[in-house]
Amino acid sequence: MSAAAHLGASALADAPAVTLRSPDGARATLLHHGAHLVAWQPAGGEEQLYLSPLTDCAPGKAVRGGVPVIFPQFSDQGPGRRHGFARLHTWTLEETGVRGEHAFAVFSLKDNEATRAEWPHAFSLELTVSISGQRIDIELAVNNPGETSFDFTAALHTYLRCDNVLKAQVEGLQDCTYEDKLQGSTRQQWSDVLGIAQATDRIYWAAPQPLMLRGLGQKVRTGWDGFEDAVIWNPGPEACARMADMPPEGWRDMLCIEAARIANPVMLAPGGEWVGMQTMLKVG
């Protein structure tokens, strides 16, 4: 099955994918590559995720936009590959269907020779996406079927679409401490409202929730469970112009609000499981 019906002329249109449709008309599309959510339209609404028109999903490449699954390492917060390897591998579609008002899909990824070459642990991942009405739930489950413990960091690197990020704002971060990755400093958010006027790369530790993205004719509320931190990221014009998989002005059309587990890595004992969920709700 391809994503052609939902992604149109995108370079991903012929990629193996599954498209979900709930009884009330909500839609979502996930690629087998990375179990990558690349489209979400609430019932009766417009597309809420940003997907770069220049992206591709060739083997070993990450898709730019949507919701990449970050595992077992966030960014450069460790010795491994930046943002880990989960988004680069082909996942297995375990189940898809409709239950009551919800359409859902379940994908899985298990350790293999390629993953063990860069991260020597047995693991299994399961990503479940469920849509209905104005809401989407994205659940990441990590299991340790091996004989030794391992630790990891993770995130759902969500790219939200903006008509103009310069006129958008994130609400709900007042009094939260954050690491400014661009300035190399730790600060406190004094205002409840964060505007995006330039390149932004912040990790908000123990972030409050929910957070609200408010833009031109747009309100999306984000909350999470199991995750603890939030990442707010936009490359800004200079960095965006250097990205081969983004149009030069693409930074104006997106803002990442990510549910993340960074400050306190998860330590998973043999036989253990960790579950994190991000929920987004289109408001109004």
Distance of CA 44 to the CA centre of its chain: 23
Please give the single-letter amino acid code of residue 93: L
What distances in angstroms separate CA 136 from CA 40, 221, 279, one per listed residue?
Answer: 8, 11, 6
Q: Is 258 considered catalytic here?
A: yes
- Among left, alpha and beta (phi > 0; psi -120 to 50; other), residue 175 is left
> Does residue 217 sit in helix, strand or coil?
coil
Question: Which candidate in 126, 179, 228, 258 is catalytic?
Answer: 258
Question: Which candidate in 36, 83, 89, 157 is catalytic?
Answer: 157
**8 A C-beta contact, residue 37 and residue 138:** yes
**Which residues are within 8 A (CB) of 76 and not within 5 positions of it... i.e. 6 or more apart?**
82
Give me the long-range contacts of 267-272 (CB less than 8 A, separation at least 24). Answer: 267/149, 267/150, 267/151, 268/142, 268/143, 268/144, 268/149, 268/150, 268/151, 268/152, 269/144, 269/149, 270/144, 270/145, 270/146, 270/147, 270/148, 270/149, 271/144, 271/145, 272/143, 272/144, 272/149
Catalytic residues: 157, 258
